Amino acid sequence: MKSSRSRSLSLTGCVSSLTLMAAMFASQQVAAHGYMDSPPSRAYACQQKLNADCGPAEYEPQTVGEAPKGFPALGPADGKIASGENALFAAMDAQSPDRWHLTEINDRNTSFSWFFTAAHKTTKWEYFITKTGWNPNLPLARDAFELTPFCTVEGGGAVPIDGAAGGNGPLKQKHACTIPGDRSGHHVILGTWTIDDTGATFYDVVDVNITAESEYEPDPDGWKRVSALAPTQALMPGDSVKARAFTGSAESAEYSFSVGIDSVEEGKPQNWSLKLAQAVNAADKSVRAGVRNAEGNIEPIKGTNIFYVKPQTGVTSYQMQTIMVPDPDAYMHVHDVKPQYVLEKGRGNIGFTLMTNKEINVDATVYDANNKSVGTVKQTLNASTEQLVVPVISAPGEHTLKLIASSQDGRENFQEAKSLNLTGDAAEHDFDFVFPEGVKQYKAGTKVLQPKNDKVYECKPFPFSGWCSQYAPTANGFEPGVGSNWADAWTELN
């Protein structure tokens, strides 16, 4: 049924531009978009060409991470925190020690800033950081983070830019925060921007390498606390763990320590922590690991041990490195990838066979020649052989099937890429986006493919074009070909 606005348009044949602009402005206040630009979010680093194989996130970092407010009780599901649980940005959820560019943090008193493409009244910003001993091989989950933010900045319901709600620009004032003193090395910082008058929060992850010196002052006896070893990862025989000493950004071999794991019992987190701390103290150097006992001495314990150094060492931090030996019999084999697949009106299915003898989480994504994701599937295989199909919407040409998989404990990591060619028909009309991909970029003349009916729609000229970018799953009146008022904003291309 047409809205009163639509009926008015049809009855009078004209409406003043001022009235239309006012209506669009009111509608635009529902939308909010932005990203952390310093240090750069994972998605913004894609746009800056610091990261690769990012899919659509490279083109719209301002949209990545939008999900319900209320973290950690609510918000995106574990394993999908980086994408905001949006399948369009699933590439952001890939996780390994070297998958993403790391921004160096050389000062614990650091600042965070955001850029807003559609600023909005704000409740607050919060910053969370991964725990010491977190496993970078596993998908990001709540268990990986300290769930109490190390920094909170209140928004007070104000617009965070110099300008009105809905405008764009940088954050008025950067957020001055202090990185916890016991964090060093590779970590992930989760920044959340909570909108004041909607149910949304934007979740931005930042990949960092913390090289800043510890914030702690030396104790009266000269020992200075620089890092904490909080073990969380169970290890297996043949694995090893290393405490890497750093003097600023340079590693010091002299003050680094490593121990191997000889048994399942020794691989329990509290036990290998004790073994490593004992090895540090047995070296009789100007480094100690443990906790202060009743007499004030630094003694190793089963559990979290603190690293202490004497100033003459120059050591500013320790970074923990666990080296897990892959199972030599573990495998992931990709079969039956055809040299070409056929599209019908721009749609196709990339089918193949995947074989594994481990329980693995698989992320299969197809990229076009411009490195843009045109289809993705996530699936868990439990030591099996299965047929996988990735539905794609694209145009004929060269494509790449990229597979990233990891075992449940992060021990096994498999990656493989296969080239293939798509032939056949493109969509009847060229299009810029598959709806709702890139919805906030829609403007007059933008053409989108509606996957619900395989038709292409073109955004109408101003002043109607403002409605093209107004979309949310619960407010879809202008969704092309589907929404109750779609014809106010779109023209169907026959």
Q: What is the per-residue pLDDT for 126?
A: 96
328 burial type by CB count under 10 A (0-12 exposed, 13-18 middle, 19+ buried): exposed
Per-residue pLDDT at 47 exceeds 80: yes
Q: What is the per-residue pLDDT for 30?
A: 43
Per-residue pLDDT at 3 exceeds 50: no
Q: What is the per-residue pLDDT for 474?
A: 62
Residues with Cβ within 8 Å of 489's Cβ and at least 6 positions away in sequence, in order, are 459, 460, 464, 465, 467, 468, 470, 478, 480
pLDDT band for position 475 (50/70/90)? low
| Average pLDDT, integer, range 319-344 | 90
Report the top-level CATH class of 31-210.
Answer: mainly beta
Q: What are the DSSP E strand ranges found in 305-411?
A: 305-309, 317-323, 332-335, 340-343, 347-356, 359-367, 373-382, 385-393, 397-407
| Average pLDDT, integer, range 116-125 | 93
Domain boundaries, the chain: 4-26+429-492, 31-210, 224-323, 332-424
Q: What is the per-residue pLDDT for 1?
A: 38
Q: What is the per-residue pLDDT for 268?
A: 93
Per-residue pLDDT at 20 exceeds 50: no
**Cα(143)–Cα(85) distance, integer angstroms:** 17
Give the domain 224-323 fold.
Answer: Alpha-Beta Plaits (3.30.70)
**Cα(40)–Cα(189) distance, integer angstroms:** 11
Yes or no: domain 332-424 corresponds to CATH 2.40.30.200? no
Tokens of 201: 């929060």
Q: What is the per-residue pLDDT for 31?
A: 62
Per-residue pLDDT at 466 exceeds 50: yes
Per-residue pLDDT at 410 exceeds 70: yes
Tokens of 333: 């084999």
Q: What is the per-residue pLDDT for 354?
A: 95
Q: Which amino acid is at 213?
A: E
pTM of the model: 0.60
Per-residue pLDDT at 368 exceeds 80: yes
Residue 467, number of CB atoms within 10 A of its CB: 25
